[in-house]
Amino acid sequence: MSADGLRRLWAGVVLGGILLGGCSTAARMKDVNSTPPLRSYEQLVGSGRHLLEVDDSLEGFNRGSYRFNYYFDGFLFIPMVRGYEFVLPNYVQGRLSNAFDNVGEFGNLTNSLLQFKLKSAGITVGRFVVNSTVGIAGLWDPATAWGLRRQSRNLGQTLACYGAGSGSYLVLPILGPINVRDASGMLLDTAAASLVGPAALWSGNTVASIAYTGTSAVDKRHRVPFRYRQTGSPFEYELLRMLNSMMGESGVPD
């Protein structure tokens, strides 16, 4: 499961718990001193749309992928993450995460330019230069402390900028819940990075390339707290589908 998708799902699980928990206190909140909600139902899920209405035209494939991910995550991916966390001190884990994020600035820069976000592009270049030099190959992140905050951009956002709809809900093996537009963008982002991005420096060395790809994948999973089965719901597929619909839109960044 991709890091962005898992972060959105974890945030969605928390939000879902808050929304469901709020139902039990609704009666007590209907007094004249109650604070009105910050957003209406229509603003949250879209005008003319029901919360549970999700385009899942690929449901057969998606349920199969969900079952695969359920077992893959529990029996292989998470044990690998636990081994990674056991072997490496927290300090080393932080340095590796910073280095991987620094390599990822290539995608942020490319998509900032494609979205005509020139300020974001400039900040991204500044971050990469500072962190690659002062931060020693990105192991440290002095750029953030200096006010150059990470400008996360992806091709899913870029496609949304040009009017592409999100398309059907989609569950990818290993990568997890997403939608067709963002999945297309993610695959193209990955292909571009492997061909002309910083990661292409290791393409000629099979061992180094495998080590980089594997460690990067485990690091991304390590940074996302969501775990399958932890919702405790027998309808986890439906719950994740609903939460992904609420939280999973790439949107067009400011």
pLDDT tens-digit profile of 184-214?
A: 999 888 888 777 766 666 666 778 778 888 9
Residue 236 included in any domain: yes
8 A C-beta contact, residue 228 and residue 138: no
More confident residue, 111 or 253: 111
Model confidence at 63: pLDDT above 90: yes
- Supply the range of the domain harboring residue 164: 3-13+55-247
Structural domain includes residue 36? no
Contacts of 37 (CB under 8 A, 6+ apart): none
155 in a structural domain: yes
Instruction: Let me know: does 79 contact 221? Beta carbons within 8 Å.
Output: no
Mind listing the pLDDT tens digit for each residue in 65-93? Answer: 999 999 999 999 999 999 999 999 999 99
In a domain, 33, yes or no: no
Q: What is the pLDDT of residues 113-172, one digit of tens each?
A: 999 999 999 999 999 999 999 999 999 999 999 999 999 999 999 999 999 888 899 999
143 within domain boundaries: yes
Domain assignment of residue 192, yes or no? yes
| Residue 63, in any domain of the structure | yes
Burial label for 114, CB within 10 Å (0-12, 13-18, 19+), is middle
Domain for residue 89, yes or no? yes
Count structural domains, the chain.
1
Share of the chain above pLDDT 70, in %: 73
